[in-house]
Amino acid sequence: MRKLIFLTILSLACNMSFAQDIWISKNATVNFFSSTVVEDIEAKSSTGASVINAKSGEVIFKVSNTSFRFAKKLMEEHFNENYMESDKFQYSEFKGKISETYDLQKDGDYQVTIAGNLSIHGVTKAYSVPATISVTKGTVSAKTAFKVKIADHGIKVPSLVFKNIAETIDVKIQANYLPKK
């Protein structure tokens, strides 16, 4: 009987330990900003999904292109129909790996680099981005900011509005993670 209780407790502990390896964010925010002398364009999505495998350092992030909201409805329409072709390329996705050491069980701020592949508009390109992972009383959050050249992802801007859209877009991502249950 003692062996059975010990094995049950050991099994539960192992499962809890494994569960703590996988961290999930279902409401990550993605902001992007384009600034030119003609106008500034900003959009935000709060529906990004992300997973961190704390054991392997692997990170996956995915956001629906149609989830971005703009100040002007017409900008949103042009973004989805003309630039992102969201009916054809529904998601933007990043798959990478954290290179530095961090501990999601220990409070602190960890400055890390995440290297991987960013797929936007059907074009995948290698990126290496700085990020901050913060752990506070069992709560895990991550944030990053980086730049994306739209030409690198095959996004074409018509010459008529070329001066309205920056060649390089500022991207900011913020995610709060919970352990997988």
Does residue 43 lie in a domain region? Answer: yes
In this predicted structure, the answer to whether residue 6 has a pLDDT above a threshold of 50 is no
pLDDT (tens digit per residue) in 86-122? 999 999 999 999 999 999 989 999 999 999 999 999 9
Does residue 7 lie in a domain region? Answer: no
> Which CATH number does the domain housing residue 154 bear?
2.40.128.110
Does residue 29 lie in a domain region? Answer: yes
- Residue 18 is predicted with a pLDDT of 45
Does residue 85 lie in a domain region? Answer: yes
- What's the number of domains the chain is made of? 1
In the 3-class helix/strand/coil scheme, how is the chain assigned residue by residue? Answer: CHHHHHHHHHHHHHHHHHHCCEEEEEEEEEEEEEECCCCEEEEEEEEEEEEEECCCCEEEEEEEHHHCEECCHHHHHHHHHHHCCCCCCCEEEEEEEECCCCCCCCCEEEEEEEEEEEEECCEEEEEEEEEEEEEECCEEEEEEEEEEEHHHHCCCCCHHHHHHCCCEEEEEEEEEEEECC
Does residue 3 lie in a domain region? Answer: no
Does residue 14 lie in a domain region? Answer: no
Q: Calculate what percentage of the chain has a pLDDT beyond 90.
A: 74
Does residue 9 lie in a domain region? Answer: no
Measured distance CA(149)–CA(170) in Å, rounded:
9
pLDDT (tens digit per residue) in 129-181? 999 999 999 899 999 999 999 999 999 887 766 777 889 999 999 999 999 88
Does residue 8 lie in a domain region? Answer: no
Name 123's bridge partners.
Answer: 120
pLDDT (tens digit per residue) in 46-79? 999 999 999 999 999 999 999 999 999 998 998 9
Which domain range does residue 40 map to? 22-179
- Residue 2 is predicted with a pLDDT of 46
